[in-house]
């Protein structure tokens, strides 16, 4: 009996020693996806102050970046990590690819410690620019503060001609913001950790060519699909 227990203990310890780095990395990425899902649900729970549903229905891509942290004063430099999904050929949402956002002022939000950021891509052009490397909002694609609430739906396409609409939430306040100059980039390391395959590309992720689909990824897609109907 003691010999069996000793053998079992040795096996458990061996497994823990073999995979600690992977478990830690995956838990961090899962937390990020869960945070992005929570941000989306909380914002869309208030139709009068959320992103117009028609904007989501017609969007090609959506990025949710929770907890963007201020790294400077006055200038408003920022850093954050979140997820980006795009429309598949069948109209459903793809698996999420991790992205980072750096730099850029967020206007009236200066002084906030942590800000949730959402980007809504109207067309494929803005997303394709990410595949080439660092993508600068405002330079590589026009970005503008997005309209808020159902009443803004009819005026969305008339008043705004930007390719990307941007939003933020800080200290309970939610509104469209300007993110001119902020740089968006694919996070290859986070993608590799989340999907369990080194060198996985965002095109593979968007096309469903992944070794496995974590539960958090499925939940994020389901929540977004619910609000984009």
Closest CA to 34 of 225, 215, 227, 203: 215
Is 68 inside a domain boundary? yes
Residue 181 phi, psi dihedral angles, 5° rounding: 90, -10
Q: Is 109 inside a domain boundary?
A: yes
The answer to whether position 13 is within a domain reads no
**What is the residue-level pLDDT of the chain in tens, covering all 229 positions?**
445 445 444 444 444 444 444 444 446 899 999 999 999 998 888 767 778 888 888 999 999 999 887 655 545 567 899 999 999 988 899 999 999 998 755 444 445 467 899 999 998 888 888 887 788 888 888 888 888 876 555 454 444 578 899 888 876 677 777 788 889 999 999 999 999 999 999 999 999 999 999 999 999 999 999 888 7
| pTM, full prediction | 0.80
- Answer yes or no: is 14 within a domain: no
Is residue 81, in this structure, part of any structural domain at all? yes
N-to-C CA span, the chain: 59
Single out the residue of 37, 131, 32, 121 nearest to residue 82, CA to CA: 32
Does 2 map to a domain? no
Domain extent, residue 168, equals: 20-227
Name the DSSP class of 209.
Answer: -
In total, how many domains does the chain have? 1
Q: Is 167 among the domain residues?
A: yes
- 88 assigned to some structural domain: yes
Q: Which of 227, 219, 229, 225 is nearest to 45 (CA)?
A: 227
């Amino acid at each position: 009996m003691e010999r069996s227990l000793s053998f079992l203990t040795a096996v458990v310890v061996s497994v823990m020693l073999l995979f600690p780095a992977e478990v830690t990395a995956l838990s961090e990425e899962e937390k990020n996806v869960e945070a992005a899902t929570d941000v989306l649900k909380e914002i869309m729970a208030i139709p009068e102050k959320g992103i117009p549903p028609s904007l989501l229905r017609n969007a090609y891509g959506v990025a949710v970046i929770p907890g963007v942290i201020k790294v400077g004063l006055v200038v408003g430099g920022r850093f954050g990590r979140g997820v980006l999904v795009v429309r598949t050929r069948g109209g459903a949402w793809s698996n999420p690819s991790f992205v980072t956002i750096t730099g850029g002022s967020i206007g009236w939000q200066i002084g906030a410690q942590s800000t949730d950021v959402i980007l809504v891509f109207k067309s494929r052009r803005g997303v394709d620019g990410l595949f080439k490397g660092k993508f600068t909002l405002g330079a590589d694609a026009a970005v503008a503060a997005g309209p808020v609430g159902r009443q803004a739906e009819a005026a969305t396409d008339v008043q705004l001609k930007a390719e990307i609409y941007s939003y933020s939430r800080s200290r309970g306040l939610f509104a469209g913001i300007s993110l001119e100059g902020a740089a968006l980039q694919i996070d290859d390391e986070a993608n590799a950790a989340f999907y369990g395959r080194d060198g996985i590309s965002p095109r593979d992720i968007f096309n469903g060519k992944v070794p496995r689909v974590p539960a958090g990824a499925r939940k994020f897609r389901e929540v977004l699909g619910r609000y984009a109907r």
